[in-house]
């Protein structure tokens, strides 16, 4: 049987040797007849269909041909019953007369009677002599009989009477036997057809199965080989396979995004960190070549340390963002009161704000239950507030607001600074992104990226809007209780 | 292989069940086949005789006469079984019973 | 103070040991877990600086767990290249008292180790803190210097309290963030500096001699002016 998945071309794997077949990956081994899932499904389908057909045929047969037999037997029994009553009432003469009468009125011409004595001498009835094979009383026999030159078939039963007499009662069943044979043949042919259809159906099922799976596995193989742009095709029917395909596509989407993020970060790291690293190096080299005295050297070294600390801080922030995005901190979620967190962060920055105559106002209810990672949310809010204070004009106002909203919590930080231009709003959350206006201010450009990662982790969003003037950042955390936390999937970022 | 084996054994079992009702012992074909004695011209005459005896005690309805004449005619012309059937019908009417 | 350094990286170990000795402490050094455990268990130290990744079959966590299992309560500061918070939590849960990630500033390490060692001794609950003529009453939440009442906002009070509890020790900005604001990350802007300077305005400026000193490249210290 050909395998369902072939290694992607150019994947560099050597041709499958026997050893590899025995010990290698499932996709390397050719799919044996018995291991193929599609064959199993197909066989199950075929067996079920055949069994159903069989059961149906059996039922029909029993109802028709079987019915014929049962009717005959019932008639014979009833007949025998009547005869036995006559025997009891009037003894032998009555029985003989009854038999003759019944024969004389047997318009259907199907009755068989024979009354013999203990010597098997014929007393009454329409058989020449006692049939040889009929030996056991009260048992059913099928007896071939000769009727005016034609061979026929009778169903008979033997009854033993007191005094040594033997009575044979039966019915001609030739026509019924013919009918029964006809029905049996029909049923058998029907079964043959059912089996044939089951086999054909099995092949169809197998084909469907393989086609759908092949679609998914081919796409996956292409992706495994590196083409992340591929997506599994949907059939449009919205069935379970489509759902599976959608899930896989979502996963691919996420992988693609993560990989883009990684690429982005590597680019940004290469670009943005090169500057402070170069600067530190230059200073040290300069000091090594040109420093006049120890004091100058010391000063240069200390500046270099400061530069390196700055770089370390950037790396720490990057690592933190990566850690958050990996989602490993969801296990540290707790329910806590957000109100004091907002108050504390506001109070922390109030000193700095006051220096520049910026008012920091915290508007929140006395209690604000939230569910999540307290430290991360604390840092997210601090980042937003840090930005707000940094960009606010002298004498301006920064408002930190907290409120419940539909089962979740929103935290807003609004400032009156220059804001972010509309065309940069969507990119503001990217790592290392620095707006045109902000290039000169200190900061690594990671602050908003971290806030966004925190929002993601909690299944929420970060919205950045123009506050006209200024920036209004809203952090939406959807769940306020552990129950909803489990069922939420991270929403897409506000990009 | 499990599915295949299962299917096969079920089929065998099923056919046994299906053929059960047919499992009535058929009397050996070697033994002489019995003659049914009510398909002969003699029986025809026997029935006619009985009819005549009954007609003595009461007059037969027109249908009975018709049937018995028909029956006699058929028996004479060799259509034994058809004739016997008519005579039997006549008997039925005459005896007034509902025995088939 | 007697300090044990368990660190396998030669450069970092040399750097730390030298720095601690220069700061006037007695320092022992072990470069693997087994020796470190032996030394920590058999001798009395005021503090232990413990690297998490150690060769020799016993890593930092296991070493600490063993120590604590022996009812040894010596203060331990973890050094680690692992920055994940889960690792910090795990280290603290194992019985560690503080956690510092590499690369660290030596001043930070020194300040924290000294604070740890000091903390180990005499932690009797106090109702009053006194440094020179500065008096802080924890029950009535009142501050006086040279008899004069000083009005402080609640956070300023807590900041001063932290400085006074660590009087004579270097207190880094990170320590203040963690201890006073329960804030575990590094804000980019100098928020702490501004808070300290505001405190200085109230506590130092109106008075002849300053108590709150800035220690270059390290942090702050509260102590009577040596001059």
Residue A221's alpha-carbon distances to A6, A7, A93, A211, in angstroms, are: 8, 7, 95, 15
Identify all chain B residues contacting A147, using CB atoms and an 8 Å cutoff: 36, 39, 81
Q: Give A-chain residues touching B24 at CB under 8 angstroms.
A: 140-142, 155
| Chain C residues within an 8 Å CB radius of A351 | 191, 194-195, 198
**Ordered DSSP codes for C153-212:** -HHHHHHHHHHHHTTTS-EEHHHHHHHHH---S--SS-HHHHHHHHHHHHHTTTSSS--E
Tell me which H or E stretch contains C220: strand C219-222
pTM beyond 0.95: the answer is: no
- How far is the C-alpha of A445 from the C-alpha of C180, rounded, in Å? 27
One digit per residue, the tens of pLDDT, for chain A of length 495 reads 344 444 444 444 444 555 555 555 665 555 666 677 778 888 888 889 888 888 988 898 888 888 888 899 999 999 999 999 999 898 899 999 999 999 988 888 889 999 998 888 899 998 888 888 888 888 999 888 888 878 888 999 999 988 889 999 999 988 888 888 888 888 888 888 888 888 888 888 888 878 878 888 888 888 888 787 888 888 788 888 888 888 988 888 888 877 777 777 677 677 777 877 888 888 888 888 887 898 888 888 888 888 888 788 778 777 777 777 777 666 678 888 999 999 988 988 888 888 889 999 999 999 988 888 888 888 889 989 988 888 888 888 999 999 988 878 999 999 888 877 777 777 776 666 665 555 555 566 678 888 888 888 888 888 888 888 888 888 888 875 655 444 444 444 433
DSSP string covering A168-185: EEEEE-HHHHHHHHHHHH
Query: Which of B8, B9, B17, B18 is the best residue to mutate to test the A interface, defined by the most A CB atoms within 10 Å of its own CB?
Result: B18
Say how many CB pairs under 8 Å bridge A and B. Answer: 116
Name the residue facing B34 among A58, A108, A145 (closest C-beta).
A145
Residue A344: closest C-alpha in chain C: C181
Contact partners of A by the rule of 3+ C-beta pairs under 8 A? B, C
> What pLDDT shows up at residue A441?
56
Give the distance from residue A87's alpha carbon to the nearest chain B alpha carbon, in angstroms: 18
Instruction: Check the CA dihedral C165-C166-C172-C175 and report its sign.
Output: negative
CA distance A280 to A195: 82
Q: Given B17, B34, B95, which is nearest A131 (Cβ)?
A: B34
A329 contacts in C (CB within 8 Å)?
A: 85-86
Q: Measure the CA–CA gap between A60 and A301, rounded to whole angstroms.
A: 100
Closest CA to A344 of C173, C152, C182: C182
Contact A127 B35 (CB under 8 A): yes
Closest Cα in chain C to A305 = C105
**Coil, helix or strand at residue A458:** coil
CATH class of the domain comprising C128-222: mainly alpha
Radius of gyration of chain A (CA): 47
Q: Is residue B54 part of a domain?
A: yes
For domain A330-487, give the fold: Heat Shock Protein 90 (3.30.565)
Residue from A280, A348, A376 to probe the interface with C (highest C Cβ count within 10 Å): A348
Q: Do A351 and C190 touch (CB under 8 A)?
A: no
DSSP designation for A477: E
Asked if A344 and C188 come within 8 Å (Cβ–Cβ), the reply is no
Element housing B56 (H / E): helix B41-57
Question: Is residue A308 within 8 angstroms of chain C, CB to CB?
Answer: yes
DSSP state of A129: S
Using CA atoms, how far apart are residues A121 and A166, in angstroms rounded to an integer?
10
In a domain, residue B41? The reply is yes
Range of the domain at B73: 36-100
Is A411 within 8 Å of A365 (Cβ atoms)? no
- In the block, tokens 């506001």 appear at A346
Contact status of A319 with chain C (Cβ, < 8 Å): yes
Which residue has 């003699």 as its token pair? B42
pLDDT at B27 over 60: no
Q: Give the end-to-end CA distance of chain A in Å, rounded to a whole number.
A: 48
Physical contact, A and B (3 or more Cβ pairs within 8 A): yes
A391 touches chain C (CB under 8 A): no
Contacts of C18 by beta carbon, 8 Å cutoff, 6+ apart? none
Rounded distance, CA C51 to CA A21, Å? Answer: 47
Residues of A in contact with B95 (CB under 8 A): 101, 104-105
In-domain check, residue B17: no
Contact B4 A43 (CB under 8 A): yes
- Enclosing H/E stretch for A144: strand A140-147
Hey, is the C-beta of C146 within 8 angstroms of any chain A C-beta? no
pLDDT tens, position by position, for chain C (227 residues)?
Answer: 899 999 998 999 999 999 999 999 999 999 988 999 999 999 999 999 999 888 878 888 899 999 999 988 899 999 887 666 677 778 888 888 998 888 888 888 998 998 888 875 656 677 888 888 888 888 888 898 888 888 888 888 999 999 998 888 889 888 888 888 888 777 666 888 889 998 998 888 888 888 888 988 788 998 887 65
Mutation for testing the A interface, residue in C188, C195, C196, C197 having most A CBs under 10 Å:
C188
Instruction: Please state, in angstroms and as integers, the Cα–Cα distance from residue A314 to each residue in A144, A274, A398, C107, following that order.
Output: 105, 12, 26, 21
Chains that touch C (3 or more CB pairs under 8 A): A
Q: Could you tell me which residues of chain B have a Cβ less than 8 Å from any Cβ in chain A?
A: 1, 3-4, 6-7, 10-11, 14, 17-18, 21, 24-29, 31-40, 43, 47, 50, 80-81, 84-85, 88-89, 91-92, 95, 97, 99-100
Q: Which of B22, B34, B41 to mutate to test the interface with A (most CBs of A within 10 A)?
A: B34
Beta strands A166-172 and A359-363 are unpaired
CB–CB contact A348 C184 (8 Å) = no
Percentages helix, strand, coil for chain B (3-state, rounded to 5) are 70, 5, 25
User: With the C-alpha atoms ordered C145, C150, C154, C160, is the resulting torsion angle positive or negative?
Assistant: negative
Q: ipTM of this predicted complex?
A: 0.78
Residues 175-194 of C with CB under 8 A from A: 181-191, 194
> Hey, which chains touch B, using 3+ CB pairs under 8 Å?
A
Query: Are the beta carbons of B7 and A140 separated by less than 8 Å?
Result: no
Instruction: Spell out which residues of chain A touch residue C84, defining contact as CB-CB under 8 Å.
Output: 319, 323, 328
Contact A107 B4 (CB under 8 A): no
CB contact under 8 A, B34 and A146: yes
The reply to whether residue A146 touches residue B10, judged by beta carbons under 8 angstroms, is no
C2-120, which class in CATH?
Answer: alpha beta
Do A144 and B33 count as a contact with CB atoms less than 8 A apart?
yes
Q: What residues of chain B lie within 8 A of the CB of A140, using their CB?
A: 24
d(CA A109, CA A355): 125
Specify the number of domains making up chain B: 1
Residue in C with minimal Cα distance to A447: C188
**Which pLDDT score is estimated for A401?**
92
CB contact under 8 A, B84 and A109: yes
Q: What is the helix (H) or strand (E) element at residue A218, kind and residue range?
A: helix A174-224
A378 touches chain C (CB under 8 A): yes
Nearest Cβ partner of A382 from C103, C187, C190?
C187
Reading the block at residue C37, the tokens are: 């455990």
Judging by DSSP bridges, how do beta strands C26-30 and A166-172 pair with one another?
unpaired
Strand C128-131 and strand C134-137: pairing? antiparallel
Do the domain assignments include residue B76?
Answer: yes
* Nearest Cα to Cα of residue A313 among B88, C119, C224, C185: C185
CATH number for the domain formed by residue range(s) A36-199? 3.30.450.20
- Other Cβ atoms closer than 10 A to A483: 9
């Amino acid at each position: 049987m050909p395998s369902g998945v072939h290694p992607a071309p150019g994947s560099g794997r050597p041709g499958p040797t026997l050893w590899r077949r025995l010990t290698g990956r499932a996709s390397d081994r050719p799919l044996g007849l018995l291991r193929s899932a599609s064959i199993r499904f197909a066989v199950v389908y075929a067996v079920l269909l055949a069994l159903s057909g069989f059961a149906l045929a059996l039922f029909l047969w029993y109802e028709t041909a079987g019915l014929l037999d049962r009717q005959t037997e019932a008639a014979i029994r009833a007949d025998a019953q009547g005869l036995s009553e006559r025997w009891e009432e009037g003894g032998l003469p009555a029985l003989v007369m009854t038999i003759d009468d019944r024969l004389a009125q047997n318009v259907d011409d199907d009755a068989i009677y024979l009354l013999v004595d203990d010597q098997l001498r014929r007393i009454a009835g329409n058989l020449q002599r006692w049939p040889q094979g009929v030996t056991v009383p009260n048992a059913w026999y099928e007896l071939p009989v000769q009727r005016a030159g034609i061979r026929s078939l009778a169903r008979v039963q033997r009854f033993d009477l007191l005094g040594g007499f033997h009575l044979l009662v039966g019915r001609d069943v030739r026509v019924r036997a013919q009918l029964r044979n006809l029905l049996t043949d029909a049923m058998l042919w029907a079964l043959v057809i059912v089996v044939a259809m089951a086999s054909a159906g099995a092949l169809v099922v197998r084909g469907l199965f393989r086609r759908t799976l092949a679609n998914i596995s081919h796409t996956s193989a292409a992706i495994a080989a590196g083409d992340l742009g591929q997506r599994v095709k949907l059939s449009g029917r919205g069935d379970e396979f489509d759902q599976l395909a959608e899930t896989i596509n979502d996963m691919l989407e996420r992988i693609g995004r993560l990989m883009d993020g990684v690429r982005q970060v590597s680019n940004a790291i290469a670009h943005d960190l090169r500057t402070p690293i170069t600067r530190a190096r230059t200073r040290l080299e300069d000091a090594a070549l040109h420093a006049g005295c120890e004091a100058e050297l010391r000063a240069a070294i200390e500046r270099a340390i400061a530069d390196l600390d700055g770089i370390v801080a950037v790396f720490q922030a990057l690592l933190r963002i990566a850690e958050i995005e990996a989602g490993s901190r969801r296990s540290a979620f707790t329910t806590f009161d957000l109100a004091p967190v907002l108050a504390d962060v506001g109070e922390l920055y109030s000193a700095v704000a006051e220096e520049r105559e910026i008012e920091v106002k915290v508007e929140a209810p006395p209690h604000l239950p939230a569910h999540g990672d307290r430290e991360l949310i604390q840092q997210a809010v601090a980042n937003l507030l840090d930005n707000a204070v940094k960009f606010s004009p002298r004498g301006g106002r920064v408002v930190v607001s907290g409120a419940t909203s539909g089962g979740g919590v929103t935290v807003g930080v609004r400032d009156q600074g220059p804001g972010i231009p509309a065309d940069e709003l969507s990119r503001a959350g990217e790592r290392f992104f620095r707006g045109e206006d902000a290039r000169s201010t200190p900061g690594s450009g990671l602050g908003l990226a971290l806030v966004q990662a925190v929002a993601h982790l909690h299944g929420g969003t970060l919205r950045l809007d123009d506050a006209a003037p200024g920036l209004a950042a809203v952090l939406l955390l959807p769940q306020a209780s552990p129950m909803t936390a489990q069922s939420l999937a991270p929403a897409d970022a506000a990009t | 292989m499990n599915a295949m084996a299962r299917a096969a054994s079920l089929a065998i079992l099923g056919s046994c069940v299906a053929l059960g009702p047919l499992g009535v012992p058929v009397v050996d074909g070697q033994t002489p086949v019995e003659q049914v004695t009510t398909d002969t011209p003699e029986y025809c005459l026997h029935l006619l005789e009985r009819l005549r005896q009954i007609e003595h005690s009461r007059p037969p309805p027109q249908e009975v006469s018709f049937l018995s004449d028909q029956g006699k005619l058929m028996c004479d012309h060799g259509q034994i079984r058809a004739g016997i059937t008519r005579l039997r019908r006549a008997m039925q009417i005459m005896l007034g019973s509902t025995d088939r | 103070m007697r300090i044990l350094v368990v660190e396998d990286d030669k450069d970092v170990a040399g750097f730390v040991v030298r720095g601690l000795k220069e700061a006037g402490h007695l320092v022992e050094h072990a470069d693997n877990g087994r020796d470190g455990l032996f030394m920590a268990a058999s001798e009395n130290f005021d503090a232990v600086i413990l690297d998490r990744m150690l060769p020799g079959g016993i890593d930092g966590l296991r070493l600490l767990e063993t120590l604590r299992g022996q009812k040894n309560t010596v203060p331990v500061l973890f050094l680690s290249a692992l920055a994940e918070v889960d690792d910090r939590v795990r280290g603290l849960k194992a019985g560690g008292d503080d956690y510092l990630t590499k690369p660290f500033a030596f001043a930070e390490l020194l300040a924290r180790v000294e604070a740890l060692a000091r903390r180990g001794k005499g932690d009797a609950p106090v109702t009053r803190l006194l440094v020179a003529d500065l008096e802080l009453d924890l029950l009535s939440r009142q501050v006086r210097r040279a008899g004069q009442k000083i009005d402080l906002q609640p956070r300023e009070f807590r900041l001063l309290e932290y400085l006074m509890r660590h009087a004579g020790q270097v207190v880094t900005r990170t320590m203040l963030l963690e201890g006073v604001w329960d804030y575990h990350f590094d804000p980019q802007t100098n928020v702490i500096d501004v808070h300290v300077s505001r405190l200085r305005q109230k506590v130092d400026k109106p008075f002849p001699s300053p108590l709150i000193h800035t220690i270059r490249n390290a942090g702050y210290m509260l102590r009577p002016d040596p001059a």
